[in-house]
Structure 1
Amino acid sequence: MDDILKRRFDWNLLHTFTVIVEERSITGAANRLLLRQPSVSNALKRLEDQIGARLIDRERGRFEVTEQGLALYHECREICGAIGRLSDVMQDSGGQLTGHLHLWMASHVVFPPLDDALFEFNRGHPRVTYEINVATSAHVVSQVLSQQASFGICLVNEQHPKLEYRRLYREHFGFFCGPTHHLFGRTDLTLADLRHEAFVSFSTDQLSDALAPVAVLRAREGMKGKVIATSPHLEEVRRLINAGLGIGPLPIHVVKNARDRGILWQLPPYDAPPAIDIYLVTNPRMSLGRAERFFIDNLTSRLDAAPDGFFIYS
C-alpha cells in the first residue's frame, strides 16, 4: 500500500475478511457479525478494490480463498489478535493487578505446578480473569502465533521460528486396554502379543506429528493392527479404549488412578515407554500485559525446583 492508502484504509474490513474466511461463506460471516449479507459482500469488494487483488473466488457456488487471500488472512489474524488484546494491555494501571489470561492447551495436560500457579495467582490477584480453551497442539500453536492466546501449553513436533518454547514436563505413554478386552488382566504379555490387535489412538499418532515416539514404537515392533478409531482429545481416546474397541496409548500419570482402580489395564512395554515433552509456547512479538508476564514468570519459576529444569512423570 502507498502512504495515501495507508491513511485512508478501513481496518474494520480486515476483521470482516477474517470472519468470512473462517466461516467460509458470506452468509455465515453475516450471521456471526450480526450484519446483513449485502453489507458483508460490499465490505469484501471494498477490501479487494483497496488492495487491488481478488481475495476469494465465489463464482458458480465456489468458495476458494486465493493465494493473495491466504497471505492476507494469516496477517489479518495477527493484526486482529493484537487489536483484540489492547483492552487487556491497557488495564495495567492502578495499584491492584488486573488483566485477562487467555490460555490454550492440549487436551491431556495434567501438570500440578500449573494448578498450583493458578491457585496462588488468583489468591494474590483476584481481579485477574481467565479463559482456557482446549484444542489440538497444532491449533494451540496457531493461536499463540496469531496472538489470540496469552500463551499455550502443548506437545511440539517442530518448533516455529517466530515462537519461543520452554519445556515444562515430560510424560510417558503406555498402552492400555479396557475391562472387556480379551487382554485385560493378563500379566504374561510381551509387545509381540500386541502386533495384530485393533488400535485406538490420537489423531497425532503419526511419524511426522506430535506423538511421533508412539508411532515409532508401533512401527519398530511391527504393530500392524487396524487403527479403528481416533480422536484429538484424551478423554475420547480413553472412552474408546474403555469401551473395548481396541488397545491404545495414554499418558501413564494421567490415568494412574483408573489403572489402580482396575478400570484400565496397562500393557507392554513396561520398561522405557515412549516419552513426550510438553512445552510452554509464547510469542515474543506479543505485547503482554502485566498479569500475563507475572503469571508466566510465576509458572516458569517452579521449574527451578526440578533437577533438569523440567518435571518428569512416569
Structure 2
Amino acid sequence: MLEKSHDDAAAERVSGRLDWNLLRTFLVISQEKSISAAAIKLNVTQSAVSQALRRLEAHLDKRLIERHHSRFAITLAGEEVRRAAETIYGNVAELVSDVMQAKEEAIGRIHVLTASRIHSAVYDEFWSQFHRRYPRIEVNLDVRPSSEIVSILQRRGGTAGIGLCRQKPAALDSKIFLQQRYAIFCGANHHLYGRRDCQVEDLLGENFVSFSSDVFGDSLSPLAIFRDEQGFSGNIVATSSHHDEVKRLLIAGFGIGCLPEHSVKEDVGAGRLWRLPPEDGVCTVELHFLWNKTGHRSMAESLFIREFSEHLDRYTLDERLTSYLPGKPARLDNHK
C-alpha cells in the first residue's frame, strides 16, 4: 500500500476539521463583497463574520481576501474556496429538497385474523393494491373461528379481523363486509341429489353437516334457529369450522348442510353440489370487518384499517360478493 504524501495527509487533517458554517460565511462574503454587508445578510455581528473568515484562513493556511482601505479583492485561493463552497451549497440544497419531497415508506407488520375461505374479487383486489402501495409491510393472515377472532381482538391481540359477529362487543368498531345468503346443499353422493321436486318437508329427517359455530347463541345460530323452527329431526353427523371441510363432507354424501350461495356457484355448476329448498335460502349472515377502538397502533396497522375501510366504501354489498371485479370484464379460463 502506498503511503500518503505530506500534502495529502495535511489536506485530510484540514477537511476533517473544516466547518460548513465557515464556508457558508465566506460564500456570503464573496457574494456581498463586504464584511459588513455579509453580517447584515447573515443576521450576525460584523465581528462574528471577521472571526469566521480568520478561522477559515487559519484552517486552510491561505489568505482568501485582500483588504486595503476601500479595496476588496478575493485571492486566487479565495476563488477556489468560493467555487467549492458554491458546489457544496448546491449539493446541500438539493439534498434538503429531495428529503423534503421524499415520501415516507411505510414498514411494519400487520396481523389480520380472518374467517376461512372469503370469496370476493373486491377483497382479492384490495390485497393486490395494498401490496403495490406498501411493499414493505409484512402481512400475516391468520385463519381462526369467528368466536376466537372476536375474543382475540377484545384483548388487542391482532391488528383487525374479518368474521361473523352477531353481537358486537363495546370495545370493537366494525363495518359490514359481506352479506352472505346461506342455502341448503347436498353432494352428488346423496340420495336427494338432482331431485327437482324436492320440498322442505323432504329434508326434515335428513342428517346434517354443520359448521362448529352453528349452535344456539354462536355466530351462525340463525342456521340453528332455522332448523329448529322448521322441525328438522336429523342428527348432526359431521362438523368443521372451515368452509372447505364442510363442503368436502357434503360432497362426500355425509348429509345435507348450509353454505353461502355465492361461494359454491362453481361447485353447483360443475355438479359437485345440488341446491335444495327453500328457494329463497335459509338466512342472511353478515361478515364484519372488526378492529379494537383502543390501544396503540403502528403506522402499518393504522394504514391497513383506514385503507381497507375506504376500499369497502367504493363498492356496494352486492358488488363485494361477485367473483369478478366490478367495472372489469370477468376473466374467462380457457379449457382445452
Counting aligned pairs with the same residue, the percent is 34
Q: Displacement of 1:105 after TM fit?
A: 0.9
Choose which of 159, 164, 170 in structure 1 pairs with 2:179. 170
**How far apart in 1 are the matches of 2:317 and 2:143?**
28
Q: Offset at 1:209?
A: 1.1
Q: CA deviation at 1:101?
A: 1.3
Q: Does 2:126 align with 1:117?
A: yes
1:161-310 to 2 correspondence within 5 Å?
161-307=170-316
Cα RMSD between the aligned structures? 2.1
* 1:194-242 deviation line (CA, Å, top 9, x unaligned): 0000111001112211112211211111111111111111111111111
Decide which moves more: 302-311 or 215-224: 302-311
Where does structure 1 differ by over 4 angstroms across 4 or more consecutive aligned residues? Answer: 307-314
CA contact (8 A) 2:213 2:219 kept: yes
* Partner Cα distance (2:117, 2:192) in 1: 25
Query: Which residue number corresponds to residue 21 of structure 1?
Result: none
Mind listing any 5+ residue stretches in structure 1 that lack a counterpart? 1-93
- Alpha-carbon distance in 1 for matches of 2:322, 2:213: 20
Structure 1 counterpart of 2:262, which letter? H
Local SS of the residue matching 2:263: coil
Output the CA distance in 1 between the equivalents of 2:180 and 2:291. 21
Q: Deviations over 1:130-178 (max 9, x none)?
A: 1011111011112212222100000012211111111111001111111
How many angstroms does 1:253 deviate by? Answer: 0.8
Rounded Cα–Cα distance in structure 2 between residues aligned with 1:198 and 1:309: 32
Question: CA separation in 2, counterparts of 1:313 and 1:221?
Answer: 30
The residue type paired with residue 297 of structure 2 is L
**Quick check: 2:179–2:317 contact (8 Å CA) kept in 1?**
no
For 1:57-72, what aligned pairs fall within 5 Å after superposition? none
Distance 2:215 2:319 in 1: 25
| 2:149 pairs with 1:140 | yes
SS at match of 2:262: coil
How far has the Cα of 1:113 moved from its partner? 2.3
TM-score when scaled to structure 2? 0.62
Gaps of 5+ in 2: 1-102, 324-336
Q: 1:186: how far off?
A: 0.9
Cα distance in 1 between the residues matched to 2:177 and 2:214: 21
Q: 1:308 to 1:116 in 2, by over 3 A?
A: closer
Q: Distance in 2 between matches of 1:309 and 1:144?
A: 27
Q: Partners in 1 of 2:142 and 2:167 — Cα distance? A: 22
Cα pair 1:172 1:313 within 8 Å, conserved: no
Q: Which letter maps to 1:262? A: G
Q: What is the CA-CA distance between 1:287 and the residue it aligns to?
A: 1.5
